[in-house]
Chains A and B, each alone.
Chain A
Amino acid sequence: MNDLERLIKRSLEGVGHSYSPSDEIAAREEFIRLRRRRRGYWFAGTAAATAMAVAVALFVVPSRIGPPGDPIQVAARPLEVVGAIDVGGAPASIVSDGDAVWVSNTAGGGVLRIDPETHQTEAVAGWDGRTPDELVVSGSTVRAANLWVTTTEGVVTRLDGYSGEILGEALLGSRSATADGTPATDPVFLDVVAGDGVMWGVEPQSEGVLRFSGLGELDIEEAQLSEVFTDIAYDGRLLWGLDDLGAVHSFTYDPLLDAEASTPIRHEGAAGGRNADLAAGLGYVWVSSGDDEELRIYRIDPSGEEDVLEIPLEGRYADLTVADGRLWVLASGDEESLLYRVTPEGAVEGDPLRLPGSANDIAVGAGSAWVPDTEAGTVLRIKESSGEEPGPVATEANEDPSSAQPFFAYSADGDIYLELTDGSTRQITMSPDEERNPTFALGSLIFERHDYETDWFGLIRHDLASGEDHPVALDDGWEGGSHPAVSAAGDLAWVDEAGAIRVWEGYLTTPEPGSNDIASIPLADGLSDPRGLIFSDDAKALYYQAIGEGWVTVQVPLDQGPSPTPFVLNGINDQPRGTTYVQPDDATGDNITVLDVCCRDTEGDPYSQFSIARIAFTEGGATHEGITGPVPLQDADPGALTMISLHGALFNEDGSWDLFADEGGSWLVTDGATLWLLHSDGGGELAPDTLETGADLHGFTVDPTLEEHS
């Protein structure tokens, strides 16, 4: 090592050792949290199949079956009992944190944990003389799940759900009193929900909401309200209460901080009735109401609008659970119970699963649904059947291959899968670190490449017929570029290194240097950072998104000279991307190009939200049809949220893959851990359907090795 090398070494070591990362402990907690979210919990092993089933259900046109009054039903893989785990005693309340399952035993006075992989059970808590009533579990951490157990003796216990260590305990006791003022000995029945390190409870005998928190001797605080609540639910952001008159109330995050915020949003006797249960999630509040005559589920719009959907089902009493992007309804009758799955749209997926006896509780997690069979002393494990395929997928295949876009799918290893318009499929391997933004037309895939070996950066045309790669070379030898787009006519557009948009007319039909016909399209005044280039289906216009005063979208008529005024995308505030299609104007018969611009909406914390602007471009200019959304995506990771495409695919566990079809009103959005299908109802509303998977969907990199997560 010579003097220069020693100087370099000493200097760099000085730089490195002068620096330490900030707050490593916080970083580790963040890492664990993000990692767990990316891995996903639900249906990990059969994630793709499940997601596909949900997608299939959504794409099948719902149809009424049976006599009037029956619920809307959509096709889905049937449910089946795949195991009965002997837990002894009388299992009653059951919960899952996604990894493990806990069940209370009212006969033996204890709580058991079930290992979903081995079906082995392990006692995590046991008390003589106490009767566990309710179990709830809150956010698991690196070391423990917070398992909360209430007993009918009025004892609340906070446990490490894995080690069984008691983290806190409190004696609530009976809150009613006898006529002479002495405490009563009535059993205590709390309805409880858990948040992050907190449990809330309501008791039918008293007005208000209780909050339990802390370690050791638990803190108990009470928000005195003017109603008696029989049920309580938590959607991750808001608390919801059902009063004894059947009204649904919304609270702020914590009613103890703002007790005045208890506002009834729905006051309808039918929604209360007898045997009511409450759940919150999927953008709605769900209430069951049953009696000897009928059981109905009500889907209530939390905004308080008159959007109440009634879903009649068999059974008398229903336990409601929101999980896996759907509502699970365990409806109990006298001799049997029925397990339903209900989509956020209110459609029943397939036929209900009939279970023996009167089941009272359901947990969803670790790839299954779990239902205690109290009489048999077992816990039933329930999964979707893999043997029976759902009904056909309703698709609207593009009949014109010249304008059709192929379906894209990406694997974690950089493979691109294309379904071509002739029905064949192709696989192309790309380097995920060095190649990105593929676009396809006329037998060629064009994408960006960063070749670190040679420090080359530019566009590559991959010829599907020969399998060869060709740099997109111009007459002047200039090669750099990004954000490519190709039209059905073979035109290529991209952003050059100076930030200008270039269009090579007929590139794919005359790809030889020397015959370049390349236009440079200057950005409109005040615009920068163009991206999201897309040709209209008829290749007569190019659209791009850029930053002006906020994000704008610009239409460039390729045969009509300068582009019109940029269209300001009000409500779009982050990284928009567009998709486009042409549809006829019913009034004039003219073609209208419709551009859907999607983006992450960063103004909706604590929810992450997504907005879609739909703009109709005509010869006279643009007409804004309005923003759809913002739609909240519960538990989304805001920093990773991105729109994927109108087209997409998910891998099945056997390595095969299934494609989503585009119906012109659906968008796939992911934050890397969860996939949402945003589905327009045609009336300006956007419904998010959670297609959770265990795959790594970051940037639509779908990990086909799903089985490794199971």
Chain B
Amino acid sequence: MAVAGAQLTIEGGVRFMERSDVERDRAVAALFDRHYAPMCRLAYVILGDAQMAEEIVMDAMLKTFTGWGRIRDLDRSDAYLRRIVVNMCRSKIRRKMIEARVNQVTYRRDELKMPSWDPERHETGRLVWAAVKQLPERQRAAVVLRYFEDMPEAQIAEVLDCSVGTVKSQLSKARAKLEKTLNLSLERGQP
């Protein structure tokens, strides 16, 4: 059986399950405030879709903070949450790609949704991001975690649930593809 017995979580020496529901709600609200915006940014950079990013983060936070017993160490709740967000983003990317294949719709490479992004001022950045979004979903996640979240490879491996060697190879492949794509794009002057 997967589960037996109650799971108590510890926060600062206080058994979380012994708190009242109102106290828990306050604590959850604080966790939401701490994590929501950074996680939305992470999801947005991976997906390139603000609405989808916010939906995924909301869903991930509900999954994370609804069943308290699943988080044994609240200090690591951000790692747990980040892993769920990244996995959900990857799943979403896969679904989109499958749908695109099924519908025989090719991805528009210039389909960028950047709320306050100035394409004129940040043309190179836009090209880079468009190229990142052409990567397979695992490589894309690894690149975002490495260069946007500044994560060491070991931590990326933890989030992606794979070995450090896999992270290294995925990043290496991603950099090679990016270099190739960016050279072509910069030569053509468009993504």
Binding site for B on A (CB under 8 A): 4-5, 7-22, 24, 27-28, 30-32, 34-36, 38-39, 99, 115, 117, 142-143, 162, 411-413, 415, 427, 429, 433, 450, 452-453, 455, 457, 482, 497-499, 528, 655, 696, 703-705, 707-708
Contacts and interface: CB of A to CB of B under 8 A. Distances in A.
Given A11-B125, A36-B25, A22 B3 contact: no
Q: What 10 pairs across the A-B complex have the smallest Cβ distances?
A: A11-B128, A708-B69, A11-B125, A21-B40, A12-B148, A499-B102, A9-B147, A413-B2, A16-B41, A99-B21
B45 interface: yes
Contacts of B175: 4-5, 8
Task: Choose among A22, A27, A704 the residue with the greatest number of B CB atoms under 10 Å from its CB.
Answer: A27
Contacts of B190: none
Contacts of B116: 18-19
B117 interface: yes
Interface of B: 1-8, 17, 20-22, 25-26, 28-29, 32-33, 36-37, 40-42, 44-45, 50, 53-54, 57-58, 61-62, 65-70, 87, 90-91, 94, 98, 101-103, 114-117, 122, 124-129, 132, 136-138, 143-144, 147-148, 160-162, 166, 175, 178-179, 182
A457 B147 contact: no
B11 to A, nearest CB: 14
Contacts of A498: 101-102
B50 A12 contact: no
A429 B3 CA distance: 12
A22 B54 contact: yes
Nearest to B18: A117
A39 B22 CA distance: 13
Contacts, number: 186
Given A12-B129, A15-B44, A35-B28, 18 more contacts: A8-B178, A10-B125, A11-B125, A12-B128, A15-B45, A28-B32, A31-B32, A38-B66, A117-B20, A412-B3, A452-B87, A453-B162, A457-B94, A498-B102, A703-B67, A704-B2, A705-B7, A707-B6
Contacts of B87: 433, 452
A5 B176 CA distance: 11
Contacts of A10: 125
A21 B36 contact: yes
Contact of B147 (A12, A429, A455): A12
30 contacts: A4-B182, A7-B124, A7-B128, A8-B147, A10-B125, A11-B124, A12-B128, A12-B129, A13-B147, A14-B117, A15-B44, A15-B114, A15-B117, A15-B148, A22-B54, A24-B37, A27-B36, A28-B32, A31-B58, A31-B61, A35-B65, A35-B66, A142-B29, A143-B22, A411-B2, A452-B90, A452-B161, A696-B67, A703-B67, A707-B5
A703 B57 CA distance: 21
A427 B132 CA distance: 41
Given A24-B36, A35-B62, A708-B6, A9 B67 contact: no
A452 B37 contact: no
Contacts of A16: 41-42, 44-45, 148
Contacts of B57: 21
Contact of B94 (A28, A450, A696): A450
Contacts of A499: 102-103
A493 to B, nearest CB: 17
B129 A15 contact: yes
A38 B64 CA distance: 12
A455 B138 contact: yes
Contacts of B101: 497-498
A70 B4 CA distance: 44
Contacts of B58: 27, 30-31, 34
A215 B124 CA distance: 54
Contact of A455 (B126, B136, B178): B136
Nearest to B65: A35
Contacts of A24: 33, 36-37
Contacts of A455: 136-138
B107 to A, nearest CB: 16
Contacts of A11: 122, 124-129, 132
B114 A708 contact: no
Nearest to B66: A38
A568 B185 CA distance: 48
Nearest to A415: B2
Task: Choose among A35, A162, A703, A704 the residue with the greatest number of B CB atoms under 10 Å from its CB.
Answer: A35
Contacts of B65: 35
A347 B147 CA distance: 63
A22 B147 contact: no
Contact of B67 (A19, A28, A452, A705): A705
B6 A19 contact: no
A453 B98 CA distance: 18
B69 A19 contact: no
B125 A15 contact: yes
B41 A19 contact: yes
A118 to B, nearest CB: 10
A8 B174 CA distance: 11
Contacts of B147: 5, 8-9, 12-13
Contact of A497 (B2, B37, B62, B102): B102
Given A5-B175, A497-B98, A696-B66, A20 B37 contact: yes
Nearest to B166: A453
Contacts of A708: 6-8, 17, 67-69
Contacts of B62: 31, 34-35, 38
A696 B132 CA distance: 36
Contacts of B68: 708
Nearest to A656: B1
Contacts of A19: 40-41, 44, 50, 114-117
